[in-house]
């Protein structure tokens, strides 16, 4: 991945065609991460991995002020872009104009439990914002695991954490988020 870092440095220096060189190198990895994340979504999801990657890419590259300090920072920004896209879609689906009070029910899927509904996704979003202020590293680990679908080891490597540090951070972040999202639940 030294090539990715070289191109990210070129983007940071403002080289005009560096972003065009970056996409082919990271596209497959971004697509795999998005597909892994969407596999955990409710049935009937209207966004596909390719669309999610393209929209995230436009957000990452579209703002000329974006500068990344290496691969970790770039993929962290990608996780954040994917998170924001999914949050915006959940909010739009929940809005009254978008039929937020109505629920689509596919007869074939009536007995399948959905992993996370839109209300829980929005609650997670709010809690992640609070966690970011409290412990940015823990929030980053959650984003990488949850919104990009990285494995525990992949996220730890990307953040430069040892396995034990990643385990402690993950345990803390999950417990903290659970208390924020479900405060009435017994500890």
Q: What is the pLDDT of residues 74-104, one digit of tens each?
A: 888 888 888 888 888 878 777 755 555 555 5
pTM of the model: 0.53
Which of 25, 23, 27, 38 shows the shortest CA–CA distance to 147?
A: 38
Range(s) of the domain holding residue 96: 2-181
* Confidence check: pLDDT of 169 > 60: yes
Q: Is residue 55 part of a domain?
A: yes
pLDDT above 90: percentage of residues in the chain:
11
Q: What is the pLDDT of residues 120-158, one digit of tens each?
A: 778 888 889 999 999 999 999 988 888 887 888 888 998
Q: Is residue 10 part of a domain?
A: yes
Q: Is residue 22 part of a domain?
A: yes
Q: Is residue 186 part of a domain?
A: no
pLDDT of residue 114: 38
Domain count, the chain: 1
Q: What is the per-residue burial (b if ≥16 Cβ within 10 Å, else e) of 95-128?
A: eeeeeeeeeeeeeeeeeeeeeeebeebebbbebb
Which of 101, 121, 102 shows the shortest CA–CA distance to 40?
A: 121
The distance between the two most distant Cα atoms of the chain, rounded to a whole number of Å, is: 55
Q: What is the pLDDT of residues 4-48, one digit of tens each?
A: 778 777 777 777 777 778 778 788 888 887 888 777 776 666 778
Angle at 17 between CA 34 and CA 64, to 5 degrees: 70
């Amino acid at each position: 991945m030294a090539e990715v870092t070289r191109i990210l440095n070129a983007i940071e220096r403002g080289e005009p065609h560096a972003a065009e060189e970056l996409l082919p190198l990271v596209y497959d990895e971004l697509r795999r991460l998005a597909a892994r994340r969407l596999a955990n979504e409710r049935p009937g999801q209207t966004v596909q991995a390719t669309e999610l990657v393209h929209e995230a890419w436009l957000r990452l590259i579209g703002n000329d002020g974006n500068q990344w300090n290496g691969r970790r920072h770039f993929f962290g920004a990608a996780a954040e872009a994917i998170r924001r896209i999914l949050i915006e879609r959940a909010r739009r689906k929940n809005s009254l104009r978008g039929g937020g009070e109505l629920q689509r029910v596919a007869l074939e899927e009536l007995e399948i439990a959905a992993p996370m509904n839109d209300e829980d996704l929005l609650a997670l979003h709010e809690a992640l914002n609070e966690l970011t202020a409290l412990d940015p590293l823990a929030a980053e680990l959650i984003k990488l695991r949850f919104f990009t679908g990285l494995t525990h080891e992949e996220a730890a490597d990307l953040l430069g954490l040892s396995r034990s540090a990643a385990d402690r951070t993950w345990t803390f972040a999950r417990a903290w988020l659970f208390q924020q999202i479900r405060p009435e639940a017994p500890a």
